[in-house]
Amino acid sequence: MIHVTIWNEYERERSRPDVAKIYPEGIHGAIAAGIHQDGFAIRTATFDEPEHGLTQEVLQNTDVLIYWGHALHHKFRDDIVERICSRVHQGMGLIVLHSGHHSKLFRKLMGTSCDLLWREADEKERLWVVDPSHPIVEGIGPYIDLPEEEMYGEHFDIPVPDELIFVSWFAGGEVFRSGCTYRRGQGRIFYFRPGHESYPTYHHPDICRVIGNAVKWAAPVKRAPTYYGHHEPLEILAK
Ligand code: ZN
């Protein structure tokens, strides 16, 4: 069983009727419904809950955290950013979606500004699969078309990804590295670009399939805990 926590800021769905209409159960609710399958135990958490819903206990019992945020990045508690980072280093998987690129959490884990170009113009996005053997694209064709999305364009100020899985093309002419993996400590991280709140992206079956595949890919490997520091020899050392 993989224990998944879907974290959503849950601000735009409550402040904007057009977003509420697309996501009546919140973005977290749509993702939970979209990735639901045997083997996943899913819970959700939102910004307004105590400790943003990400208490030590919740994180200790989370194998993979999915993270969507936008308007409240600057208000996210620094001590909880630290708490999530240390869980990633211990092996918790992390999937950062769309505007999560500018969260304190993602920028801290990347060590760069994570800045990019953007535009809201209801334009077509085509996500090309550029690593067809990767488990994150299991069941996905050569590309995913989204009829309307927000544009994110290069340059995206991230470290060179360990693996590049999707490259997006936008009708306005820009391109973007829209599916990137990283390892930090024992943890696996997947950044996945699509998901602006005013489009029904998280109702798209292929988008949910990619996120579900990423949960399985990012789930921790079960093994003895890693330790560091001074170490006694395992063999008798010759004098
Ligand atoms: Zn957006």
pLDDT per residue rounded down to tens, the chain (239 residues): 999 999 999 999 999 999 999 999 999 999 999 999 999 999 999 999 999 999 999 999 999 999 999 999 999 999 999 999 999 999 999 999 999 999 999 999 999 999 999 999 999 999 999 999 999 999 999 999 999 999 999 999 999 999 999 999 999 999 999 999 999 999 999 999 999 999 999 999 999 999 999 999 999 998 887 889 999 999 999 88
CA of 227 to the centre of ligand 1 (A): 40
CA of 109 to the centre of ligand 1 (A): 20
Distance CA(67)–CA(65), nearest Å, equals: 6
Distances (CA, A) of 120 to 158, 163, 171, 184: 22, 28, 12, 32
Domains and CATH numbers, the chain: 2-111+178-218 (3.40.50.880)
Predicted TM-score of the model (pTM): 0.97
CA of 229 to the centre of ligand 1 (A): 43
The per-residue pLDDT for 234 is 96
* Beta-ladder partners of 164: 180
CA of 203 to the centre of ligand 1 (A): 16
The per-residue pLDDT for 230 is 96
